[in-house]
Amino acid sequence: MGRYFSIIIFLFSSFFIGNNNERRTDDLDYSSKSKAIAFGKLNERNIETDSLPLYMQGEGILEPPIDISGYNNAEEYFDQLFHGKWTYLAAGYDFPVGKPDAKGYYIARKFMEERHLGDDFNSKAGGNSDLGHPVYAIANGVVTFSKDIGGGWGKTMRIVHKNMDKTYVESLYSHCDEIFVKYGQFVKKGEKIGTIGTANGQYLAHLHHEIRTEINLPLGRGYADEPTGYVAPTRYIRAHRPRW
């Protein structure tokens, strides 16, 4: 009798623990490829940055962050990734600082000013006054890159957003002091994903922010003569504010 009772207890415990693990997906290590399947497994490239000289880390990354081998394009790959995840479609965009309207911030270097491919958000108080201030996801999406790559980039995050009209954009957040999200993690608009930094002491504190209409591009250098695949972040956000 005692033997059968023990077997029943074991089976009940296994069922309960298994179901509990399925529910508590927030406890997973998103950086683990084997566990990231809970969020729609991404084929992350193994980007070797440590072998590069420090001044080239970041600038020397020439491969896209996600390996889309077997797909016709990045959109087809992400269509599969977002399948069934309707609550993570982007219904509107807010600013990455001063949630939700960039209150207390100004753009120190605008899109395409001196060939700059993003907007640099600085606190109106100047200096390093915004060091450690929150950085927010501008819309719902999935994190495709979250690493300290050194050089002129520092701690950098990339998020792919699928819009309600089935188009895609990608947002980039760089020079951060801390990053709170990991590769493969789905995030919501306004979620705190990191803090403003100095790219490990390279600059005064600010957030370098990009929006790309061509997703899964190589990291690039942050500057270019032609902004192919990029749009002005502030202009895009203002044109795509939340619908509700």
More confident residue, 117 or 49: 117
Would you place residue 243 in the very low, low, confident or very high pLDDT band (cuts 50, 70, 90)? confident
* 115 CB neighbour count, 10 Å cutoff: 12
Please tell me the predicted confidence (pLDDT) of residue 62: 84
Tell me which residue has tokens 């209150």: 103
Greater confidence (83 vs 57) lies with 83
Q: Are 220 and 117 in contact (CB under 8 A)?
A: yes
Which residue from 176, 5, 3, 41 is spatially nearest to 96, judged by alpha carbons? 176
Distance of CA 175 to the CA centre of its chain: 13
The whole model's pTM is what? 0.82
pLDDT of 239: 97
Kindly calculate the radius of gyration of the chain based on its CA atoms and give it in whole angstroms.
20
pLDDT in tens, 11-64: 444 333 333 333 222 332 333 333 333 345 788 887 666 666 665 667 668 889
Q: Which domains does the chain have, with CATH numbers?
A: 30-239 (2.70.70.10)
- The β-bridge partners of 107 are 121
| Sheet architecture: strand order including 178-179 | 134-136, 192-195, 178-179
Per-residue exposure over 77-90, b if at least 16 CB sit within 10 Å of its own CB, e if not:
bbeebbeeeeebbb
Q: What is the DSSP letter of 97?
A: S
Say which amino acid occupies 99: K
Q: What is the pLDDT of residue 4?
A: 46
Indicate if the pLDDT at residue 119 is higher than 80: yes
Alpha helices in 52-209 (DSSP H): 74-82
pLDDT at position 37 is 34
Average pLDDT, the chain: 84
Over residues 181-231, the pLDDT tens digits come to 999 999 999 999 999 999 999 999 999 999 999 999 999 989 999 999 999
Task: Count CB-CB contacts under 10 A for residue 227.
Answer: 18
More confident residue, 3 or 164: 164
pLDDT score, position 50:
64
Q: Helix, strand, or coil here: 18? A: helix
Residue 163: Cβ within 10 Å count: 17
